[in-house]
């Protein structure tokens, strides 16, 4: 199976993957005041936060409920070296978190619509 082997500064954090995955992601995020001209981000106006997250989404052939799986969520610091190796694994680490995948698309749409309507002044510049 396709999997990610994740290392930070040469230290292995594990191998993420599962036999029933359709999506596998490794995301590095930096948010906040990232440069001298930046005004920052909400609740990060004067500093920043950087992290790596590794997760996935199942696509089960049987009628079983799909899940969002998370293997890694770790804060990073300046100078950290992140290595992601794409591997063909026969075994992987168990995810640290799993939760049911959202399948109620009408509910998702209604949430997004209500969020927009409640915040449209911010988006429309009005």
Chain segment 56-79, per-residue pLDDT in tens: 999 887 767 889 999 999 999 999
With cut-offs at 50, 70 and 90, classify the pLDDT of residue 126.
low
Confidence (pLDDT) at 125: 65
- Average predicted confidence (pLDDT) for the chain: 89
With cut-offs at 50, 70 and 90, classify the pLDDT of residue 40.
confident
Domain limits of the chain?
Answer: 2-124
DSSP strand pairing (2-8 vs 82-88): antiparallel
Average the pLDDT over each of 8-12, 60-64, 73-77, 84-88 and give the range with the smallest value. Answer: 60-64
Confidence (pLDDT) at 62: 72
Query: What are 95's two structure tokens?
Result: 């995810």
With cut-offs at 50, 70 and 90, classify the pLDDT of residue 109.
confident
Predicted TM-score (pTM) of this structure: 0.76
Per-residue DSSP letter, 115: H
Q: Contact 79/21 with Cβ under 8 angstroms?
A: no
Within 13 Å and on the Cβ side, how many CA atoms surround 68? 9
Confidence (pLDDT) at 48: 86
| Among 53, 60, 57, CA closest to 99 | 57
Strands (E), 1-126: 2-8, 11-16, 21-32, 48-58, 67-75, 82-88, 97-100
Q: Average pLDDT, stretch 28-49?
A: 84
Confidence (pLDDT) at 60: 83
């Amino acid at each position: 199976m396709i999997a990610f082997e994740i290392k930070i500064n040469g230290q292995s954090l594990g191998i993420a993957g599962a036999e029933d995955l359709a999506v596998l992601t490794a995301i590095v995020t930096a948010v906040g005041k990232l440069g001298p001209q930046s005004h920052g981000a909400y609740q990060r106006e004067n500093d920043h936060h950087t992290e790596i997250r590794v997760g996935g989404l199942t696509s089960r052939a049987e009628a079983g409920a799909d899940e969002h799986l998370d293997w890694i969520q770790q804060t990073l610091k300046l100078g950290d070296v992140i290595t992601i190796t794409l591997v063909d694994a026969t075994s992987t680490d168990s995810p640290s978190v799993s939760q049911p995948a959202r399948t109620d698309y009408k509910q998702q749409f209604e949430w997004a619509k209500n969020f927009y309507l409640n915040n449209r002044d911010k988006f429309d510049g009005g």
